[in-house]
Amino acid sequence: MTGGSDPGVRGRDVASLAGVALTGFATALLLVLLVAILGVVAVQGLPALSWRFITTIPRRDFFDAESAAVLPMIIGTTVRVLLMTVFVMPVGVITAVYLSEYARAGSRYTQAVRAAVANLAGVPSIVFGLFGLGFFINFAGRGLDRWTGAPGPVWGQPSVLWASLTLAVMTLPVVIVATEESLRSIPAGLREASLALGATKLQTLTGIVLPNARPGILTGGILAISRAAGEVAPILFTGAAYYLARLPGRLTDQFMDLGYHSYVLATQSPNVGQTRPILFATVLVLLGLTFSLNALAIIVRARMRRSLRAAS
Amino acid sequence: MAPAIETRDLTLHYGKIRALDAVTLEIPERRVTAFIGPSGCGKSTLLRCFNRMNDLIDGVRVSGSCRVSGEDILGSGLDVIALRKRVGMVFQKSNPFPRSIHGNIAYALGLHGIRERAAVDGAVERSLRSAALWDEVKDRLHESAMRLSGGQQQRLCIARAIAIQPRILLMDEPASALDPVATARIEELILELRREYTLVIVTHNMQQATRISDFTAFFYLGKLIEHGPSARVFTCPDRKETEDYVTGRFG
């Protein structure tokens, strides 16, 4: 090393070494934690994981290794996540389009909406669960029941529909922020080119801006799915069931859920030791499902990017 | 012959800044008019008045008059879409859409109701031929426009602009981001297009202005300083500022 004897230079070397060590340590810590979490789950859960475990409907005593199974939970979680995506994407994208394309940038109204979106993102998920119970089930659901003159509660009870809608409200900020970001990243030159050809603002939006923003919008969808797949609190009162003998067949049916089921296994088991491998196997399946849903969306996004580059 | 574009005391403010100061100018039909002047002199701003692209910027105020083919284009009742169909524009940075070569031109045609396949294909070929790009791309019309070279992309943008048959073509430094060979091709193209279109070109390149333009307008600090046949403006300008600028003494 040159100039090693100069105290100033030596001080700089020590400082830069410390910087490398500190950032490296933080990164290593993260990796260790990730490996530790996945390792514990895998080691404890793999013994209980079997083809039968993920492809059969459990009997009531799902704490027992013989009868434990998670097929209804896999279906329930998948359905509620996909339904949520169907609800959240249009509303989130349209809101973001309004905010970034139509609303006056500095206006008080726009600022208020932006603040509301930011605050919505900071609300604890259990509050969304209570909101879903109060608004969707007690207000909207019971209102529908009264209006249709149903003899008993049809809409006014927990269901996969209300759980998905509750999750959609929770993930709305994620989609809005990601969409706005991707709309902003469209080069001004592309909009100008379209407008200079005599396109209206709406034609430019639907013909040029949105098609090019699709990968970014999909990133919002991926983040929303990641956030929603593992959430339990919002569906606790709005749709998740402790046990159902049948698979859900209608929007108004309740459903079993991997996350909620993990909670049940962890807290309600009469025999903790025997249930532990089942619990970890369930968590393993939840991780796998979340990962698969994400992977699916990432593959779709990659194909979109390719088709944008090699547009035909 | 009536001028293609005619401005009278055209003044434009961005907020409090006066970008154009009482510009009175006539641009003749089927000729190339070059706008020259140092950065920030208002030449691009004036160009963007002609197809109302300044509408996109908040806080722009315009006074005076501006007529395109005799029609006042500053009124709020003007059909901006119809104006932009007649007055095409090519930008400094080539901006093809991330679509195919064919798709870029088809998009422009579709905006004006031309969607029937045979009509679209015919117009695509015609405009690519006019932009001297057809021979290079005729076998890969459905490949992405993003794969073309910079010069080809700019010629595609010209093809896209002329596909909808404007009367006037505005070019904002169309060759400033291109290498000398690509620049030469654009210049040849401009001389070719001059037969059918009225061209207005903003340029920083004096040699380019002398090579391709019939008339030259020199702007300085938002004012039109001098305007006349290019040969005269460049060889014996009336005004001292023009002489200093074209001989490279300032700017």
CATH superfamily, domain at A47-309: MetI-like (1.10.3720.10)
pTM of the predicted protein model: 0.83
Supply the Cα-derived Rg of chain B in whole angstroms: 18
Q: State whether residue B3 is helix, strand or coil.
A: coil
Nearest to A82 by CA among A167, A21, A150: A167
Residue among A196, A207, A312 minimizing CB distance to B53: A196
Q: Considering only CB atoms, which chain B residues are within 8 Å of A311?
A: 98-100, 103, 144-146
Q: What is the pLDDT of residue B250?
A: 67
Q: State whether residue B62 is helix, strand or coil.
A: strand
Q: What is the pLDDT of residue A307?
A: 75
Mean pLDDT computed over every residue of chain A: 91
Above 70 in pLDDT, residue B185?
A: yes
The band of A3, judged by pLDDT with boundaries at 50, 70 and 90, is: very low
> B88 and A200: CB-CB below 8 Å?
no
Half-sphere exposure of residue B222, counting CA atoms within 13 Å on the CB side? Answer: 12
Q: Considering only CB atoms, which chain B residues are within 8 Å of A193?
A: 91, 95-97, 157, 160
Q: What is the pLDDT of residue A156?
A: 92
- Strands of chain B, DSSP E: 5-14, 17-27, 32-36, 60-68, 71-72, 87-90, 168-172, 198-202, 215-220, 223-229
Above 80 in pLDDT, residue B1?
A: no
Determine contact, residues B155/A191, Cβ cutoff 8 Å: no
The band of A22, judged by pLDDT with boundaries at 50, 70 and 90, is: very high
Q: Where are the domains of chain A?
A: 47-309
Q: State whether residue A245 is helix, strand or coil.
A: coil
Q: What is the pLDDT of residue A1?
A: 47
- Distance (Å, rounded) from C-alpha B92 to C-alpha B48? 13
Half-sphere exposure of residue A78, counting CA atoms within 13 Å on the CB side? Answer: 15
The tokens for A111 are: 């600022």
Edge-to-edge strand ranges of the sheet holding B5-14 = B17-27, B5-14, B60-68, B71-72
Residue among B56, B91, B98 minimizing CB distance to A311: B98
H helices within A98-124, ranges in order?
A: 108-122
DSSP state of A205: I
Q: What is the pLDDT of residue A12?
A: 83
CA angle, residues B101, B102, B103, in degrees to nearest 5: 90
pLDDT in tens, A198-245: 999 999 999 999 999 998 999 899 999 989 998 999 999 999 999 998
Q: What is the DSSP string of A251-310?
A: TTS-B--HHHHHHHHHHH-S-HHHHHHHHHHHHHHHHHHHHHHHHHHHHHHHHHHHHHHT
Candidates B83, B86, B144: best to mutate against A (most CBs of A within 10 A) is B144
Over residues A32-44, mean pLDDT? 94
Residue among B97, B112, B144 minimizing CB distance to A198: B112
Over residues A115-138, mean pLDDT? 94
pLDDT in tens, B151-166: 999 999 999 999 999 9
- Distance (Å, rounded) from C-alpha B101 to C-alpha B112? 18
Q: What is the pLDDT of residue A119?
A: 92
Q: Where are the domains of chain B?
A: 5-246
> A311 and B157: CB-CB below 8 Å?
no
Supply the Cα-derived Rg of chain A in whole angstroms: 25
Q: What is the pLDDT of residue A309?
A: 67
> What residues in chain B have their Cβ under 8 A from chain A's Cβ atoms?
51, 53, 56, 81-82, 84-85, 88-89, 91, 93, 95-100, 103, 107-108, 111-112, 142-147, 157, 160-161, 164
The helix (H) or strand (E) run that includes residue A190 is helix A188-196
The band of B2, judged by pLDDT with boundaries at 50, 70 and 90, is: confident
Residue type, A107: S
Mean pLDDT computed over every residue of chain B: 93
The band of B93, judged by pLDDT with boundaries at 50, 70 and 90, is: very high
CATH class of B5-246: alpha beta
Q: By percentage, how much of chain B surpasses pLDDT 90?
A: 85
- Distance (Å, rounded) from C-alpha B121 to C-alpha B88? 20
Over residues A1-7, mean pLDDT? 56
Ranking A292-301, B44-53, B211-220 by mean pLDDT, the lowest is A292-301
pLDDT in tens, B101-110: 999 999 999 9
